[in-house]
Structure 1
Amino acid sequence: MVKRMSRSLVAVALLATMLPACQREQPGQATAPVQHPAAGDLPGEAVDVVLEDTIETDPRFIIGISYPQPARQYPGLAAELKRYSDAARGELMEAVADMGPDAAPAPYDLSLSYTMVVETPRIVAVAGDGSSYTGGAHGNPLVARFVWLPERDELLRPEELIPSAQGWAIVSDHVAEQLQAALSQRVDADDLDPAERAQVVRSAGKMIEEGTRPDPDNFRQFEPVLAPDGRIQSLRFVFPPYQVGPYADGVQEVEVPASVLLPHVAPGYRGLFAPP
């Protein structure tokens, strides 16, 4: 199943609505340039991380960051969220510094809101969505997903979940097929002339091919969809604008069922999944 969502560029009015941490009852409809840290990079002082909602205003920039209250009880997860936020803020402040003292007020802005997707004793998932504007026609979308395993006290990473190249080839083929089908439906709905249709399909198809190559880095953003028994019945892979389509196509999502994933999941994680 493929979902698509258009990005909302956040301005001052949205910052006021961000701070109450909202919680989604269903896994969301809705990479970032900021990457998750590599395995083993989590700081030893993670227990001391404090997640605080933030609003910063300045003639040159506006920053709004909000966190869901439940995430605060998982120190390792809190450290991951804080690290991602700090990296996004750092990139914005580098752009602010490059404005120079004589630059006209922009302002640049960073908006980042985290929401709970799943919270069970075995699986906790948080979605981070927002944008960072440092000039140009539109902001840079921020799309991140964090799947935390409380019993193991670790972040579920794609390269550890599916350790084989063969497994990623299967996932890649499944996702690319779904995205191509969704692309055809969108193009058909636009009622383009044959030549223009062929050009759009060729251009967007190349983006799908490149953005779904069988590399775990292309599938780093994902969230679990749970069966009634609390086990994972599918993974929803999330692709930011530009990865598998133009900016106008927004965030795109593809669900891959457990029946496709399980033969390739590492033995230590198979118990998280519902049987096919």
Structure 2
Amino acid sequence: MRTWLPIVLGLLLFSAAARAEAPCTPLVLTAVTISEETTGFSIDAEYPVLCRTEANPVIRDFVSNTVFDLKKLDPAHDMQFFPHKYELITRYAVWPSPGARFVSVKLHVMVYSGGAHPNNWPMTWVFDMTDGSQVPLDRLFTDPEKALPAVSAACRKALIPSLGQMYLKDMLDPGLEPIEDNFERFALTVEGVAFFFAPYQVAPYAAGEQVVTIPYADLAPLFSPDVARALGL
């Protein structure tokens, strides 16, 4: 018992410090659910409402526009010519960064509008909870053009063994080309920067969504000074 006491106290102190530094709490106030069943459509969307109100319209508008885009494909769809409903599902995850200044939101989006299988993709945002502003790659890194080759190399090192027989060089190479479009879906988690890759971006559909988390220490020299300070680096 004595051996574990300092560890437990340390964890409690760390947790309390993180809470004290959070610009607002609780980070997630509630969740919004959009549920609709009609003859031709099935909508089951969920998204979080954060304690920083400036961030919420960004998430809300994305979900609303995604629902609208699905419905406008065929507003009169009644399964007469295509015997399946068009379907939309979203589910969310939220991560605070170390110190909780930044909060990352990820939506898993699934849309079925015909074809052999649904389309799935990740949508992410990183919000600065001091003012609700977004943190894109060019704010995360001092120089994205310099940082992205390092990010790409780290992701390649992780993905080749994890994909196993699903590894296809012709898919991985363009999907990890060090350009912003390939790495714009990311989250700042407790463990590091998590980069998300939709099906087909780096591997076949059957491999599913891929995620690589790079420890903060590995990217520390590349972060902007403001982000590095906020992460305690």
TM-score grouping bracket, smaller chain normalisation:
0.7 to 0.9
**Consecutive aligned runs of 4 or more in structure 1 exceeding 6 Å deviation:** none
What is the 5 A alignment of 1:135-154? 135-154=114-133
Aligned to 1:88: 66
Between 1:131-140 and 1:98-107, the stretch displaced more is 98-107
Aligned residues: CA RMSD: 2.4
Query: Does structure 2 conserve the Cα–Cα contact (< 8 Å) formed by 1:51 and 1:78?
Result: no
Distance 1:172 1:104 in 2: 41
Higher strand share: 2
CA distance 1:87–1:142, change in 2 (3 Å):
farther
Between 1 and 2, higher relative CO (CA 8 Å, sep ≥ 6) is seen in 1
Aligned to 2:172: 208
Query: Does structure 1 conserve the Cα–Cα contact (< 8 Å) formed by 2:147 and 2:222?
Result: yes
Give the 3-state SS of the residue equivalent to 2:104 in structure 1: strand
TM-score, with structure 2 as normaliser: 0.77
Structure 1 residue 135: Cα displacement? 0.3
Distance 1:215 1:98 in 2: 40
Give the 3-state SS of the residue equivalent to 2:196 in structure 1: strand
Equivalent residue letter for 1:115: A
What is the 5 A alignment of 1:183-222? 183=163, 186-187=164-165, 201=167, 204-222=168-186
Q: Does 1:242 align with 2:200?
A: yes
**1:87-111 residue CA offsets vs partner (Å, 9 max, x unmatched):** 2112211222385896345211101
Distance 1:270 1:101 in 2: 53
Equivalent residue letter for 1:158: L
> Mind listing any 5+ residue stretches in structure 1 that lack a counterpart?
1-49, 188-199, 227-232
Q: Which of the numbers 49, 57, 63 marks the counterpart of 1:79?
A: 57
**1:96-144 residue CA offsets vs partner (Å, 9 max, x unmatched):** 2385896345211101122323376412222211300000111110311
Q: Does 1:53 align with 2:33?
A: yes
CA distance 1:101–1:171, change in 2 (3 Å):
closer
Query: Does structure 1 conserve the Cα–Cα contact (< 8 Å) formed by 2:40 and 2:79?
Result: no
Aligned to 2:147: 167
Query: Does structure 1 conserve the Cα–Cα contact (< 8 Å) formed by 2:104 and 2:189?
Result: no
Give the 3-state SS of the residue equivalent to 1:95 in structure 2: coil
> Mind listing any 5+ residue stretches in structure 2 that lack a counterpart?
1-29
Distance 1:212 1:161 in 2: 18
Task: Provide the identity percentage.
Answer: 24
Aligned to 1:125: 104
How many residues were matched structurally?
A: 202
Query: Does structure 2 conserve the Cα–Cα contact (< 8 Å) formed by 1:171 and 1:260?
Result: no
Q: Does 1:155 align with 2:143?
A: no
**1:179-233 residue CA offsets vs partner (Å, 9 max, x unmatched):** 12223xx22xxxxxxxxxxxx65xx12211111111122111112222xxxxxx5
Aligned to 1:267: 225
